[in-house]
Amino acid sequence: MVVGPTTVGKSALAVGLARRFGGEVISADSRQVYRGLNIGTGKITKKETRGIPHHLLDVANPKKQFSVAEYQILAQKKIDEIISRGKTPIICGGTGLYIDVLLGKISIPDVPPDPQLRKKLKKKSVEELFALLKKLDAKRVENIDSKNPRRLIRAIEIANAKRNENHDPRRSPRREGEAVGIFASRSVCWIGLTLPPEKLKKKITIRLLARMSRGMIAEVRRLHKEGLSWRRCEELGLEYRFISRYLRKLLTKREMTEKLQTEIWRYSKRQMQWFKRNKDIRWFNSSQKAQIYAMLKKKGD
């Protein structure tokens, strides 16, 4: 597992590990699964893969919601395929929920939609929804898009059902962190990449400006012309949300850039809050590749 906040160099490290130890990479990014969301998500390019197979990129239609349950199924299948080829699966990404569900550290609630609850919640502002979710599930708010009403409503729906389930004496929910599924009997090596806050903040700004110059605004404009609604751009968050607002003349270019810098930085902090709970992760900075390789070689020996 190669995890950490945005912009720290996870993809480059995963490619390096795959080349050295005979692996293939499985993305664990909730937006890179979508076709056409390339520059805005920082999706690895063909040149950057250096010939290493990458999986679970471009597997979903951006007009439709791709769920964590779908990710779990596809990722498990890819892991089995990679192992059958005698290769090592390297799961790389910053979506902690995807990773923890895949490992069985978090179970996916089988919660059907509640139309009455949804109708009631749709009348609330995103601030009210976020506050309600925080009361119901303080951990979930650490890694959720606080400006996305659809995700907030679904999280509240699940948290509400889970609370009712826990009050049902007939049920015995699995303890959090209890391994299940394909990883219950397999060894997992956790590598976390991080940077000092000021360095990470500076790198986020540099990367954002670089993506702007590569055509990130044109990408969002093209996606909208191809049928991606402005509402769906809002749901996809961060770059797609604020660029869509700029294209709708709701923000100036300067306001858009400043808001993106702030929100990406906040997102990186939420990512770190999520991963810091996992005491199995060994943390490095991106310049410590030699130490990472040495640790893995020792484990292999």
Greater confidence (119 vs 17) lies with 17
- Average pLDDT on 124-128 reads 90
State the fold for domain 2-107+174-300: Rossmann fold (3.40.50)
pLDDT in tens, 244-285: 999 999 999 999 999 999 999 999 999 999 999 999 999 999
* 25-34, 88-97, 291-300: range with lowest mean pLDDT: 291-300
Q: What's the pLDDT at 284?
A: 96
CA nearest 90: which of 2, 180, 181? 2
The domain locations on the chain are 2-107+174-300, 111-173
Calculate the alpha carbon distances from 183 to 164, 180, 251 in Å.
29, 6, 46
- Average pLDDT on 18-27 reads 96
3-state secondary structure of 25: strand
Q: Phi/psi of residue 98, each to 5°?
A: -55, -45
Secondary-structure breakdown of the chain: helix, strand, coil percentages, each rounded to the nearest 5: 55, 5, 40
* 36-40, 146-150, 246-250: range with lowest mean pLDDT: 146-150
* 70-74, 80-84, 160-164: range with lowest mean pLDDT: 160-164
Do 11 and 49 form a contact (C-beta atoms < 8 A)? no
Helix axis angle, 10-21 to 289-300, nearest 10°: 40
- Average pLDDT on 192-215 reads 96
Mean pLDDT of the chain: 90
Do 71 and 108 form a contact (C-beta atoms < 8 A)? no
- Whether the predicted pLDDT of 299 surpasses 80: no
**Helix (H) / strand (E) containing 199:** helix 197-213
Q: What's the pLDDT at 211?
A: 97
pLDDT in tens, 158-176: 888 877 766 543 343 444 4
Q: What's the pLDDT at 133?
A: 93
Place 106 in a pLDDT band, splitting at 50, 70 and 90.
confident
Greater confidence (178 vs 15) lies with 15
Q: What's the pLDDT at 145?
A: 78
Do 107 and 172 form a contact (C-beta atoms < 8 A)? no
- Average pLDDT on 214-242 reads 97
Q: What's the pLDDT at 301?
A: 64
Contacts of 300 (CB under 8 A, 6+ apart): 21
Q: How are strands ordered across the β-sheet holding 2-3?
A: 54-55, 23-27, 88-92, 2-3, 191-193, 282-284
- Whether the predicted pLDDT of 109 surpasses 50: yes
3-state secondary structure of 124: coil
Place 22 in a pLDDT band, splitting at 50, 70 and 90.
very high
pTM of the predicted model as reported, rounded to 2 decimal places: 0.81
For the chain, strand residue ranges (E) read 2-3, 23-27, 54-55, 88-92, 191-193, 282-284
